[in-house]
Amino acid sequence: MKKTIIEWTISIGLAVVLVFVIKTFVFDTFRVDGSSMNETFQDGDRVIVNKFMNFFKDEYDTGDVVVFHANSEDLHIKRVIGTPGDTVRVEDNELIINDEVYVEPYIDHPFGLRTHEYLVSDLNGEEIPEDKYIMIGDNRTNSRDSRHYGLVDREAIIGEVVLRIWPLSTFTYNFK
């Protein structure tokens, strides 16, 4: 009896440690809050974030969907629109990256009334500095993103969204 209790205690302890390690360093879940990523994600969707690759990935790519710290308290889910070394602007309601129109099949409506704004006003069309990113929500007319809080540091990125797991009817794995 005593041996069985010890075995169960060790098994439960190892399971708790394993869950902690996985959630801290490998994968974590995130609940989408708000409409800034409509139509790609809806309010209340649950996604899995790959944190493990964050340790090995030098740079995120344009179009990646990531979860990051917008400030010390809030986590946001947005799409990477500008990477280090890029120049990014909006002209005639189109996204221009490095002087080429960037096609965005994942959005239903482009920038709308915000076409007169710089994506990040302090850049003024200059290159994005090293280890900085522009993050924009897919619901361009209803998103608090880099247009409001500026460039996002590389170290603020938690990881890339790899799966939508809830609701089950919209289980998806490719968001580009």
Catalytic site residue 78?
yes
pTM: 0.80
Is 7 a member of any domain?
no
Show Cβ contacts of residue 94 under 8 Å, excluding neighbours closer than 6 positions.
101, 102, 110
> How many structural domains compose the chain?
1
Catalytic residue of the set 51, 78, 132, 146: 78
Q: Write the pLDDT tens digit of every residue in 152-173.
A: 999 999 999 998 988 888 888 7
Catalytic residue of the set 2, 3, 11, 36: 36
Is 156 a member of any domain?
yes
Is 42 a member of any domain?
yes
Mean of per-residue pLDDT scores for the chain: 82
Q: Write the pLDDT tens digit of every residue in 67-95.
A: 998 877 788 999 999 999 998 887 777 78
Is 18 a member of any domain?
no
Taking a C-beta distance cutoff of 8 angstroms, is the pair 31, 37 a contact?
Answer: no
Is 40 a member of any domain?
yes
Domain assignment of residue 101, given as a range: 28-170
Is 11 a member of any domain?
no
Q: What is the CATH number of the domain that holds 57?
A: 2.10.109.10
